[in-house]
Structure 1
Amino acid sequence: MKRVLEFLGFVTLLQGVAGLVHEFTGWDWGLAQRLGVLDGYEVYASVALLVLGFALCAAAEGRGSG
């Protein structure tokens, strides 16, 4: 379970960073820009993904080994 949480945390952190990079540089990558329901809220969604990623990584650390 720890590996799954680490992987999901890494992916959500990566997507949060990708969304912010897209908003500030115009590079076309990231998940938040491809979801039509988030039109106008991409920055907020990217920040939420960053926070979720940090929380998942912290939860993985709290699980210990195993």
Structure 2
Amino acid sequence: MKKVCEGLGMIMLIQGAAGLLHDWTGWFHYWAVIRRLSFLDGHELYANLALVLLGLVALSAPTALAEHAERRAAG
């Protein structure tokens, strides 16, 4: 489960960063998935920022949960 969460987090982080770079510079035209979603027209910047943040949370969640479980087991 940890590897799945880390994998999804990395994909979200890369897609969000590519979307931000596309918004700011015009690069990564084919990488940015958010810009292809028509219901987010005009809100791509916020969606890409949210995707980066969710990616960071997904990457750090397994480690934080494991540390919490260890502290709880220790007493």
TM-score, with normalisation over the residues of structure 1? 0.89
Contact 1:2 1:63 in 2 (8 A): no
Structure whose alpha-carbon radius of gyration is higher: 2
Percent identity over the alignment is 47
> Residue 26 of structure 1 corresponds to which residue in structure 2?
26
Residues 42-64 of structure 1, C-alpha deviation per residue, up to 9 Å, x if partnerless? 00000000110011011122344
Work out the number of aligned pairs and report it: 64
CA contact (8 A) 1:32 1:38 kept: yes
CA-based RMSD of the aligned residues comes to 1.0
1:59 corresponds to: 61
Q: Which amino acid aligns with 1:50?
A: V
Q: TM-score, normalised by structure 2?
A: 0.79
SS in 1 for 2:52: helix
Is structure 2 residue 20 aligned with structure 1 residue 9?
no
- Shift of the 56–9 alpha-carbon distance from structure 1 to 2, 3 Å rule, reads same
Higher RCO (C-alpha under 8 Å, 6+ residues apart)? 1
Q: Aligned equivalents of 2:64 and 2:2: distance in 1?
A: 9
